[in-house]
Structure 1
Amino acid sequence: MSYRRLAASAAVLAAGVALVPAPAHAADPASGRPGPHGVARPDRVGPQQREAAAFTSPADRSVRPAPAAGEAGAASADAARNEIAVGLKAFTTSAHGIEVDATTTGTANTVSVSVDWGDGTAGEETSAGGQTLTVPHQYGKPGGYTVRVTVTDRATQASAVNQIAVWTQGSHFTPHTPKRLLDTRNGTGASQGKVPAHGQVRLRVGGNAEIPAGVTAVVLNVTVTNTTGGGHITAYPDGGERPTTSNVNFAPGQTVPNLVIVPVGRSGYVNLHNGGWEGVDLIADVTGYFTKSASSGYTPMDPQRLVDTRNGTGAPKGRIKGYGTLTKPIEGLDNATAVALNVTVTNPGSDGHLTVFPGSGAAPAVSNLNFGAGQTIANAVIVPVGPSGEISIRNGGWNPTDVVIDIVGYYSPSGPNAYVPLKPDRLLDTRDGATWPWGPLGGRGYVYMPLADGFPHTKGFVLNTTVTNPEGAGHLAVAPDPNSLADYDNGTEQWPPTPTSSTLNWTRGKTVPNLVQAGTGPYGIIDIWNQSDADIDLVVDLFGLYEDN
């Protein structure tokens, strides 16, 4: 099987997402490497992906200060004050950004427009009476702010004040001690019993387990078990339309976990839909949540190997014994409150489960991934860092197992990036010839995805990757691309270094999903690698992004 390099593209912002195939570059005979299949720049005419929030305070809410005693021209100013007003509309433009439209009425004169942004900063502009002035602003932290606008008629000194409450689009992360919110096997968080075919369970998040009301999104480890047929699980906010994307895929007899970052409905609930033809049991453990208040922002990293017990990287060499625990210090990450990891179990001597938790004490009654004897399986993990700067990994199996951990990012009070949930969207499905004419992704090849090309403030994406129809065993790797989109368009790209990290592992014929928090690197391009010698089909779904200010 020849190597292939393919490209997928999406504009991830207010404009939308589209895949636009373009001609393939010719192979380079001198290097022996085949040329990449390319795509055009993102089509920005696609469906709306980011829903901008709007806030309004009409002109009739304006307050007109009384004239100061002895003010010159008080009579004429009084008349003017009875007319001048300012109407306000505000719109979110990014994770931290807003625009305020201030429309002055009641005067045709030039006006001064003073804006107090509610974060300790202010500014002043000039506008014509009867016109709308648009003023942008970037907040340093996500949250709610009161914007106060004062307009002053420069001829009469008449003034009016109006204010508007706004909320940023982005949210910060708050770690939560891992806790089980749902287990349909015993009635935790829902009625006891399997979720029926094409049915769903409604899970309370806001106001549950010390999670505050008003959370915007929640981090759950969702596990499907006791499966008798194949299918998939879709997580989505209560009260919203169920998307066509998937979070967890399963086959008969499988127990499959996957990390989910899902928006929470206004009711405080999320829904977990069973897209299979038979009933399944569902388990959901929480490790954190997002709110529109300053807490911990995200810092993406190029994937780095943190632990590999097979060769002694970051921990003593040798498998973690049955029911044993490995404690790992988290160092050099600027007061990290939580870390984003990809955790892989390999060479297990028996069935079991792995639990990743903060600190070095007793493990909580939750799980991050489940495994069978001899199986290699991975799952994304977001875990709080304990007070002493440590995390622990407990082997819940009878016999020893090797563990491999890659770190892809971390959360901290100084983290610059806020999370913005997006309408779930399928970016790539190599099975769909209508949108992807090149078929399966070949062994040792990669797909390059210029998701943030041209948008330097977008620093990371939350994706769900699914490998299906694999013709052999292997693993998937995700890493930033060192080439620019111009390099690909001009045919001057260099073959990227092969990543040493892994995102998910599969065996022949199995369908395996895993969440990915992918950094965008220097040029906003993400590479997804098939690290096997055989073809695979690849599905990539988009769920959100991280953006700085």
Structure 2
Amino acid sequence: MAVLPVTSCNAQATNKVAVRTKGSDFTPHTPLRLLDTRNGTGVAKGKVPANWYTSVKVAGQGSIPDNATAVVLNLTVTNTTDSGHIIASGSGKPMPETSSVNYGPGQTVANLVIMPVGSDGRVNLDNIGWGPVDLIADVTGYFTPTASSGYKALSPTRFVDTREGKGAPKGQVAGQRSFGVQITGVGGVPKGATAVSLNVTVTNPREAGHLTVHPSGQATPTASNLNFTTGQTVANSVIVPIGPDGRIIVRNGSWQPTDVVIDVNGYYTPDSNAAYVPPLAIPTRHFDTRKDGKPLAARDYLPLLGQPGVEAYILNTTVTNTTGSGFLSVAPDPNSREEYDNGTATPPARPISSNLNWTTGKTVANLVQAPPAEGGMVAFWNQGWEDTDLIVDFFGHYGTD
């Protein structure tokens, strides 16, 4: 079995301001649209040309301070005419060999990005494709060297499944309707948590549309978290502030009903000292099965070797060259590196939650905040019945040492 190495996760001090850990703490932000090339929000109106870029001003926008070191953005690409991908990077830094959003002609695709900002407070978005695209960026939080909230990982826990009536009324969510989800005091999320990390999945939608997730007690913002087409099953990571009553609101922006599934994989709280530590230089590509010609086998897994003292890895996972439908699960692996080295590792229990869903011929990406087991290991499971290629990009981690 191949093993995915993590070689550049070593924590290092990146700020001169004394904080509780060697990274930056998180502050949630009400969803706010920073960029929309369709109407000129944040930049001049007009599509981003092929093999060109646009820049998003982050620091100083909304309530984001000038000393923000990193940002959480929901990045959406739409009005596409060809295939390609978007690379997000801090301005003034070399463009990494990674991807944040993959798209095909006619698609509208969203993905969450956690990205260090440049010294000018900006993030660059490069369109690596054969045609122009519109780009949308919504912020839901930021990181600073000032003590705020650290991250606490949870084993993926299902909070909502409208197909079963779990966490919400049983039955599809009607078009243009919302429902609330109790977050604090449920499934290990304590009172006082400031934001929650989710994997949100839409399935069985009767028409194209989008979901918007936002704190309770506030009007629905002009922002989206997940876009879908008729009949599509699609997932996206979401980080959203928690309302004062401990709840979040999910709105179906379609005109027709859909089922919604929500898994919680972590939360942010002032009681956690796990701070965001960016890559030592730029985001890096850690594994690509296309390079060695050995795709991730059906119903099999690949382990990722990590390090102690990590609360969660921030990874962008991408599947491509798919020949059937399936889903990817990322879960802690209780084996040790020594057990893999000497051939005594045993397959971990197969997880039941999903991080990424795909259909035949599609290239799909999703951000994963993956908690390792005690020895620092994470397993990537191909839960489909056909082999698929897997790409793993490293965007940092939450460190406690």
TM-score, scaled to structure 2: 0.95
User: Does 1:346 find its partner at 2:203?
Assistant: yes
| SS of 1:350 mapped into structure 2 | coil
1:242 paired with 2:95, answer: yes
Specify the SS of the correspondent of 1:431: helix
1:287 to 126, 136, 140: 140
Once the two structures are superposed, residues 286-338 of structure 1 have per-residue CA deviations (whole angstroms, 9 ceiling, x without a partner) of 00000001000000111111111111222221111111111001133231100
- Report the counterpart of residue 128 of structure 1 in structure 2: none
Q: Measure the CA separation in 1 of the matches of 2:12 and 2:243.
A: 36
Tell me, in whole angstroms, the C-alpha distance in 2 between the residues paired with 1:324 and 1:450: 43
Q: Which residue of 1 aligns with 2:238?
A: 381
Q: Does structure 1 conserve the Cα–Cα contact (< 8 Å) formed by 2:286 and 2:394?
A: yes
- 8 Å contact kept, 2:15–2:23: no
* Residue from 141, 157, 166 that aligns with 1:313: 166
CA distance in 1, matches of 2:258, 2:247: 21
Q: Which residue of 1 aligns with 2:343?
A: 491
Q: Kindly report which structure 2 residues correspond to 1:389-400, keeping only aligned pairs within 5 A, or say none.
A: 389-400=246-257
* Higher RCO (C-alpha under 8 Å, 6+ residues apart): 2
Q: Which residue of 1 aligns with 2:284?
A: 425
Q: How many residues align?
A: 395
Question: Are the equivalent residues in 2 in contact too, given 1:174–1:290 (CA < 8 A)?
Answer: yes
Is residue 141 of structure 1 aligned with residue 20 of structure 2? yes
Within-5 A mapping of 1:421-460: 421-422=278-279, 423-433=282-292, 439-452=294-307, 456-460=308-312
Letter in 2 for 1:392: I
Tell me the CA shift for residue 489 of structure 1: 2.6
Matched, 1:476 2:328: yes
Single out whichever of 308-317 and 186-195 deviates more from structure 2: 308-317
CA spacing shift, 1:194–1:9, aligned 2, 3 Å? same
Q: Is the 8 A contact 2:13 2:23 kept in 1?
A: no
What is the percent sequence identity of the aligned residues?
Answer: 55
Counterpart position of 1:271: 124
CA contact (8 A) 1:6 1:445 kept: no
Aligned to 1:186: 39
Task: Check conservation: 2:9, 2:396, Cα contact below 8 A.
Answer: no
The match for 2:361 is: 509
1:52 deviates by 5.1
Cα distance in structure 1, aligned partners of 2:139 and 2:57? 11
Cα 1:254–1:262, aligned 2, differ >3 Å: closer, same or farther? Answer: same
CA distance in 1 between counterparts of 2:241 and 2:102 reads: 26
Q: Pick which of 490-499 and 226-235 moved more.
A: 490-499
Residue type matched to 2:379 in 1?
D
CA–CA separation in structure 2 for the residues paired with 1:305 and 1:419? 25
Answer yes or no: is the 8 Å Cα contact 1:12–1:451 preserved in 2: no
Q: Is the 8 A contact 1:173 1:288 kept in 2?
A: yes
Q: Does 1:12 pair with 2:34?
A: no
For the 8 Å contact 2:150–2:268, the answer to whether it is kept is yes
Q: Deviations over 1:108-152 (max 9, x none)?
A: xxxxxxxxxxxxxxxxxxxxxxxxxxxxxxx7625xxxxxxxxxx
The one-letter code sitting in structure 2 at the alignment partner of 1:411 is Y
Name structure 2 gaps, 5 residues minimum: none
CA distance in 2, matches of 1:53, 1:366: 31
> Contact 2:328–2:356 (CA<8 Å) still a contact in 1?
yes
Aligned to 1:204: 57
What's the secondary structure of 1:275's corresponding residue? Answer: strand
- 1:441 counterpart letter in structure 2: L
Q: Deviations over 1:364-422 (max 9, x none)?
A: 11000110110001000000000111001100001110011111110001012000111
Aligned to 2:338, the other structure's residue is in SS state helix
Please state how far the C-alpha of 1:487 moved relative to its aligned partner: 2.4
Contact 2:217 2:244 (C-alpha < 8 Å) held by counterparts:
no
Question: Whole-Å Cα distance in 2 between the matches of residues 313 and 224 of structure 1?
Answer: 32
SS in 1 for 2:283: strand
Please state whether the residue corresponding to 2:200 is helix, strand or coil. Answer: strand
* Aligned residue number for residue 104 of structure 1: none
1:74-93 alignment runs, 5 A limit: none
CA RMSD between the two structures? 1.6
For 1:345 and 1:311, locate their aligned partners in 2 and report how far apart those are by CA, in whole Å. 14
Taking the TM superposition and a 5 Å limit, the aligned residue runs for 1:25-44 are none
Question: How far did 1:195 drift?
Answer: 0.4
Contact conserved, 1:468 with 1:536, CA < 8 A, in 2?
yes
**Any conservation in 2 of the 1:380–1:516 contact (CA below 8 Å)?**
yes
Q: Distance in 2 between matches of 1:53 and 1:387?
A: 33
Residue 283 (structure 1) shift: 0.2
- Name whichever of 491-500 and 324-333 sits farther off: 491-500
Query: d(CA) in 2 for partners of 1:51 and 1:336?
Result: 27
Separation in 2, partners of 1:463, 1:344: 18
Pairwise CA distance, 1:497:
1.2
Q: 1:424 to 1:504 in 2, by over 3 A?
A: same
Displacement after TM superposition at 1:444 (Å): 0.7
Q: Distance in 2 between matches of 1:53 and 1:399?
A: 47
Q: Which residue of 1 is the match for residue 382 of structure 2?
A: 530
How far apart are the structure 2 equivalents of 1:504 and 1:449?
A: 17
| Cα separation, 1, equivalents of 2:122 and 2:399 | 25
Opposite residue 253 of structure 1, the aligned amino acid is G
| Counterpart secondary structure, 2:340 | helix
Residues 407-418 of structure 1: pairs in structure 2 closer than 5 A: 407-418=264-275
SS in 1 for 2:129: coil
Map of 2:318 onto structure 1: 466
Q: Which consecutive segments of 4 or more residues in structure 1 shift more than 4 A?
A: 50-55
Cα deviation, residue 53, structure 1: 4.9
| 225, 239, 243: which one aligns with 1:368 | 225
Report the CA distance shift for 1:429/1:210 in structure 2 as closer, same or farther (over 3 A): same
Do the aligned partners of 2:12 and 2:277 also contact (CA within 8 Å) in 1? no
**Distance apart, 1:494 and its partner CA:** 2.7
TM-score normalised by the chain length of structure 1: 0.70
Q: Structure 1 unaligned segments of length 5 or more: list them.
A: 15-49, 56-95, 97-138, 143-168
